[in-house]
Structure 1
Amino acid sequence: MTVKILADSASDLSKVHYSENDMEMVPLTVHLDEKEYKDGQEIEPVVVYNAMREGKSPKTSQVSPQTFKSIFTSYAENNQALVYFALSSELSGTYQTAKMMEQEVKEEYPEASIHVVDTKCVSLGYGLVCLHAAKRAREGASVEEIIDAGTHHAQHMESIFTVDDLEYLYRGGRVSKSQAFFGSLLKIKPILQVEHGKLVPLEKVRGSKRLFGRMLEIMEERGADLKNQTIGISHGDDIQRAEQLAGMIREKFGVKDIEIEMVGSTVGAHAGPGTIALFFLNNTNK
């Protein structure tokens, strides 16, 4: 029986990805206008972005323990192997909750092949890790081989972000109020990266015209065998700029395989509309 791959909605993968790769998705929760929605199932990202443009501040919460226990128990009862590649533990408590439920289920089903892996990744970079693991699963790889391949992919995933408005990062505690104010005043665009699972500032670029050029320079400095890997681009309801960046990458590096997806409701609620994120590997040897 093929090993099943589980991802959460912060992977920003589409329903087509889950269907075509025989993966399962567990949703985080979005809180908006005093209502709760299952991310990726009950609310579209554009609804969240429009709310943020109107000045609203949607919140998110992790997957519940009972949800994980139910999923893990069903796989244990059917004696099927499951590997859950989780959103970075530095950005959500979902991984820790899943680990607790993994141990709880294994107390009742000691032989259960249930495994929880912290990717330290987010958005489509995390999604690419899950797709790589699912590919190995379809090829008939063992649980150990899948975890090894997914972990290697995650450890070498570069995640470069920029946002359209620093105000959203200020609300999320990523920049100070003065940085947000002066950044907007001086038209400074931040470039951030995921480092050890956390989203941290990398540098600032004055003017949007230089922004994508600098992102490609970072890509050239850090990337490995870019032409022969899958590049990820996710966007906060700005497909035009995402496709512009994709065109620049194809022209500069000869890349053929680029996945473009909208940043989902969970990640988007913190990054805001206009976010552009770029994902690529700095080591493709494994």
Structure 2
Amino acid sequence: MKRVILSADSTCDLTDDLIKRYNVNIQPLHINLDEQYYRDGVDISPDDIYATYQAKGILPKTSAPNPIEYIDHFKQWTDQGFAVVHISLGSGISSSHQNSLLAAEELPDVYVIDSGNLSTGMGLLVIEAAERIERGMEAAQIYQEINQLRDKVRASFVIDKLTYLYEGGRCSALANISANLLNIKPSIKVDNESGKMTVGKKYRGSLPRVLKHYTDDQLQDEATINKKRIFITHSGTDQKNINTVKELIEQNYRFEEILITRAGCTISSHCGPNTLGVLFMEN
């Protein structure tokens, strides 16, 4: 049986410790900021993006690796006779999946999975794949099982300000102004069928108060939730906001593992600071 290598796009937003723990090989997406190209999580950070926006009013453009880059990424293992399982950013959001599929067609034993998701919604599937590799499962079976789990991921976020969405052309000026004037903080969720983001419930009030209501709303159907792990993923926010959500989960919901991660450049450049989500799987 071939050894299986696990690969994922940088948008899985796992911490360095989790990447090391689960032996994940990361393929960075591209960040084009102020006429310079960077690699997500390698030579640019979300704080660099925020600082550039504050100083110059410029937001980056993000793009997927091209098929040649994916070929080079996978080939370092297929040339050694290994199989590769790669989990991509959702095809409804990015061309990453299509480009990695094109690369897989040129190489043996590369299994590309469309996460249908982003951030640690992807990360949940990456960890599920890693656990199957640890159990000695073959790549083809991992591919089958992770595809079946995709619809069980629940990924959503609360956005504090619509500024970055507006500047990036993803919401209207009217929506941006109205949200700021009325102190509205919309939740954004991933549609597992299309893999695209949709607007969920709109909250109103201070961010700590909103985060409590949002977390309870996401976890209210407790009987359906897989309690193995939950992610609290943020784009850079006050530690008090993270603690508010973490303590609420600890006190009211019995997850075996609460993982806290910070979103990378690709996600942060679209939502801006003070975005926070809880991401988990259903049974």
What is the TM-score of this pair, normalised by structure 1? 0.90
Provide the rounded CA distance (Å) in 1 between the counterparts of 2:112 and 2:124. Answer: 17
How far off its partner does 1:223 sit? Answer: 4.8
Alpha-carbon separation, structure 2, partners of 1:44 and 1:190: 25
Indicate the residue corresponding to 1:97 in structure 2. 99
Take 1:224 and 1:151, find their aligned partners in 2: how far apart are those partners? Answer: 23
1:57 aligned residue: 59
What is the letter of the counterpart of residue 261 of structure 1?
T
Shift in CA distance, 277/216, structure 1 to aligned 2, threshold 3 Å: closer
Indicate if the aligned counterparts of 1:224 and 1:281 stay in contact, CA closer than 8 A.
Answer: no
Question: Which amino acid letter does the alignment assign opposite residue 19 of structure 1?
Answer: K
- List runs of 5+ in structure 2 lacking aligned partners: none
Distance 2:222 2:87 in 1: 23
The match for 2:231 is: 232
Matches within 5 A, 1:125-204: 125-195=121-191, 196-204=194-202
Distance 2:163 2:103 in 1: 36
1:132 maps to a residue whose letter is E
The one-letter amino acid of 1:250's match is E
Distance 1:222 1:147, change over 3 A: farther
> What is the CA-CA distance between 1:224 and the residue it aligns to?
4.6
Cα gap change, 1:60 to 1:133, in 2 (>3 Å): same
- For the residues of structure 2 that align with 1:182 and 1:249, how far apart are their CA atoms? 31
1:92–1:224 distance in 2 versus 1, CA, 3 Å: farther
Q: Assess if the C-alpha contact under 8 Å between 2:111 and 2:140 holds in 1.
A: no
Specify the alignment match of 1:263 in structure 2: 263
Q: Provide the residue aligned with 1:43 in structure 2.
A: 44
Instruction: Give 3-state SS (helix, strand or coil) of 1:230's partner.
Output: strand
Contact 2:233–2:277 (CA under 8 A) maintained in structure 1? yes
- Please list the CA deviations of residues 218-266 of structure 1 after superposition, one character each: whole Å capped at 9, or x if unmatched: 3234455647321011111115112321111111113341111111011
Query: What SS does structure 1 have at the residue aligned with 2:155?
Result: strand
Question: 1:180 is paired with a residue of what secondary structure?
Answer: helix
Higher alpha-carbon deviation: 42-51 or 2-11: 42-51
2:88 paired residue number: 86
The aligned amino acid for 2:45 is: E
> 1:2 deviation in Å?
3.0
In the TM superposition, residue 118 of structure 1 has moved relative to its aligned partner by 0.4
- Equivalent residue pairs, number: 277
The 1-side partners of 2:181 and 2:173 are apart by 12
1:228 match: secondary structure? strand
Partner of 2:11: 10
The 8 Å contact of residues 28 and 60 in structure 1, kept in 2 or not, is answered as: yes
Q: Could you tell me which amino acid in structure 2 is paired with residue 271 of structure 1?
A: C
Residue of structure 2 equivalent to 1:212: 211
Q: Distance in 1 between matches of 2:35 and 2:223?
A: 45
Q: Tell me how far 1:148 sits from its aligned partner.
A: 2.9
Structure 1 CA distance, aligned partners of 2:267 and 2:172?
20
**Separation in 2, partners of 1:7, 1:239:** 28
Contact 1:226 / 1:255 at 8 angstroms: preserved in 2? no
- Distance in 2, matches of 1:226 and 1:203, equals 20
Q: Which runs of 5+ in 1 are unaligned?
A: 107-111
**Among 110, 120, 123, the residue aligned to 2:119:** 123
Distance 1:153 1:173 in 2: 32
Q: 1:31-88 CA distances to partner (integer Å, 9 max, x unpaired)?
A: 1222111111111222123333443212211112211111233333211110111001
In the alignment, the residues of structure 1 paired with residue 24 and residue 156 of structure 2 have an alpha-carbon distance, to the nearest angstrom, of 26
RMSD between aligned residues: 1.8
What is the rounded CA distance, in whole Å, between the counterparts of 1:38 and 1:233 in structure 2? 24
